[in-house]
Amino acid sequence: MTRYVSLNPATGQERARFPEATQAQIDETLVRSAASRTALLDMGVAGRAAALMRVAAMYRDRSQELGELIALEMGKPIGQAVWEAEHCADIYSYYASEGPSYIADEPMQRPYGGGSGVIRTEAIGPLLGIMPWNFPYYQVARFAGPNLLIGNPILLKHSLICGGSAAVMEEIFQAAGFPEFAYQNLYATHDQVGQMIHDERVRGISLTGSERAGARVAAQAGQALKKVVLELGGSDAFVVLEDADVTAAAAAAARGRFGNAGQSCTSSKRIIVVDEIYDAFVAALEGEIRELQVGDPLDPANGVGPLSSASARAEIAEQVSDARERGAHVRIGGEELPGGGFFYAPTLITDVPEDARIFREEVFGPVAVVYRAQSEADAIRRANDSDFGLGGSVFSTDAVRAHRVAEQLETGMVWINSEPASAIDGPFGGVKRSGTGRELGRFGLAEFSVKKLIRNLSDFSPA
């Protein structure tokens, strides 16, 4: 039975099916990927950078088309979907223009013991990427762009619901002039993914997904002695101190929580507000939520679309129902919306008890949860009281104070006076159960590369 099925989440109607790969196709793909490494390296850094720049141009030229495709596949509102395509163009162009300097040979300064030395960045070989549905283009760009620049061929296994966008990305990379088979899309099964992880031709694995998937892939990669990067989601704290601009903070919280219908790993999932401004903030956030328009993601007027699937909506409904039964206050929303699609009303919840599921679990949908803190110290304690540690935000009009609080948050990323954003030139990744490793920036370029030392201990110094 075919599992790669595209449904329009705004209607629940099937759009397309994509046949799963056969074993012969998987075997052939592995052979071709390994063979493409030579051609990819023969392009040189300049050639690979030029191809990435052409990828960027195609994303910009086709941003409306690409946006409409994912709006229909996973329900992202069209304005946000077009932005995602354009943001990917920025990522590819950035690594085309700035990436070569990150991976250039690095001469050793005053090497210990004399002589000379250089540190060279080299590709490790074919990589397997296992990507999710919530940002179909962006997740791939973070992984594929930097690694193709280095010279690592890409094998890409996308989400079961993103068959169309997965295919068009392969088409773009090929049209941009990368060697044939340097980037290959695979409609692979879980068993085939396990096979590829253990295949000696695959040298590294990157997964963005659930904790369960991450644990399974990490175990397999460990058995195969392969490098693995994991981005496993989060429950980001959004800390609002008593000297914050309440209006600005509430607007940012609404953007950070309800963008992509709350289906973002770095979404502001735990909003922690100091007692002195708690009531004013909740009132302001409630006003922001009431202004949100929910509906057909292809209508530019709608800022919140459907959830990606019936199961995603059911999970949110169960979490909210559990919180309500345990005494939480559902101020707005808290219900599925009628119609054929997978819509859920934008929801605001306060007074959540510690035994409620949403107190500990990641909430992957349009549900804002606000917690009261007694002080700055209590806000930091609450922010760190989580199994996750991906990102976070701190709001204060005192920059020194905001930085001090940011330094104490147990996360991989923190934004000051802003909802979480995408820093294409900085490291993306978390701590604790949010995963291991980094993407983007010079740190991302280092994950799947060899830092080769070449030392000459004689008096001769090569030109």
162 is catalytic: no
Q: For the residues of 249-306, what is the DSSP string, one character each?
A: HHHHHHHHHHGGGG--TTS--EEEEEHHHHHHHHHHHHHHHHT--BS-TTSTT-SB--
361 shares a domain with 228:
no
Q: pLDDT tens digits for 337-374?
A: 998 899 999 999 999 999 999 999 999 999 999 999 99
253 shares a domain with 196:
no
Residue 1 confidence class, pLDDT cut points 50, 70, 90: low
Q: How much is the average pLDDT of 418-424?
A: 91
Q: Is residue 429 part of a domain?
A: no
Q: How much is the average pLDDT of 364-393?
A: 97
Q: pLDDT tens digits for 38-81?
A: 999 999 999 999 999 999 999 999 999 999 999 999 999 999 99
What dihedral do alpha carbons 257, 259, 261, 263 form, nearest 10°?
-80
143 shares a domain with 226:
yes
410 shares a domain with 340:
yes
Q: Is residue 228 part of a domain?
A: yes
- Per-residue confidence (pLDDT) for residue 114, from 0 to 100: 87
CA proximity to 194, closest of 176, 219, 172, 177 = 219
- Per-residue confidence (pLDDT) for residue 459, from 0 to 100: 56
304 shares a domain with 258:
yes
Q: How much is the average pLDDT of 398-417?
A: 98
248 shares a domain with 151:
no
Mean pLDDT, all residues of the chain: 96
- Per-residue confidence (pLDDT) for residue 311, from 0 to 100: 96
Look-up: residue for tokens 């932005």?
83
Please report, rounded to a whole number, the percentage of residues in the chain having pLDDT higher than 90: 95
Q: How much is the average pLDDT of 439-460?
A: 90
**Is 342 in a helix, a strand, or coil?**
coil
| Rounded CA separation 78/303 (Å) | 9
Query: Would the pLDDT of 184 be above 60?
Result: yes
Given phi > 0 = left and psi -120 to 50 = alpha, else beta, which region is 340? alpha
Q: Is residue 422 part of a domain?
A: no
- Per-residue confidence (pLDDT) for residue 188, from 0 to 100: 97
Set 73, 231, 288, 419: catalytic member: 231
Measure CA of the first residue to CA of the last residue in the chain; give whole Å.
Answer: 61
Q: Is residue 101 part of a domain?
A: yes
Q: pLDDT tens digits for 17-48?
A: 999 999 999 999 999 999 999 999 999 999 99
Other CB atoms within 10 A of residue 69 CB: 22
209 shares a domain with 100:
yes
Query: Would the pLDDT of 295 be above 90?
Result: yes
Set 265, 288, 376, 447: catalytic member: 265
| Rounded CA separation 377/238 (Å) | 14
Query: Would the pLDDT of 462 be above 60?
Result: no
- Per-residue confidence (pLDDT) for residue 429, from 0 to 100: 96
- Per-residue confidence (pLDDT) for residue 112, from 0 to 100: 87
CATH number at residue 409: 3.40.309.10
| Rounded CA separation 195/56 (Å) | 32
For the beta sheet containing 204-208, the strands, ordered from the edge strand earlier in sequence to the opposite edge, are 183-186, 154-157, 127-130, 204-208, 227-231, 435-436
CATH number at residue 174: 3.40.605.10
Q: pLDDT tens digits for 187-234?
A: 999 999 999 999 999 999 999 999 999 999 999 999 999 999 999 989
171 shares a domain with 81:
yes
Q: How many independent structural domains does the chain possess? A: 2
Asked if 309 and 161 touch (Cβ cutoff 8 Å), the reply is yes
243 shares a domain with 147:
no
253 shares a domain with 202:
no
Q: Is residue 282 part of a domain?
A: yes
349 shares a domain with 207:
no
**Is 57 in a helix, a strand, or coil?**
helix
- Per-residue confidence (pLDDT) for residue 110, from 0 to 100: 86
Q: pLDDT tens digits for 90-116?
A: 999 999 999 999 999 999 998 888 889
Q: Is residue 130 part of a domain?
A: yes
180 shares a domain with 47:
yes
265 is catalytic: yes
Let me know the angle formed at the C-alpha of 289 by 288 and 292, rounded to the nearest 5 degrees.
Answer: 95
Q: Is residue 424 part of a domain?
A: no
- Per-residue confidence (pLDDT) for residue 233, from 0 to 100: 87
Boundaries of domain holding 144: 4-232+434-456
Query: Would the pLDDT of 460 be above 70?
Result: no
Q: Is residue 462 part of a domain?
A: no
- Per-residue confidence (pLDDT) for residue 99, from 0 to 100: 97
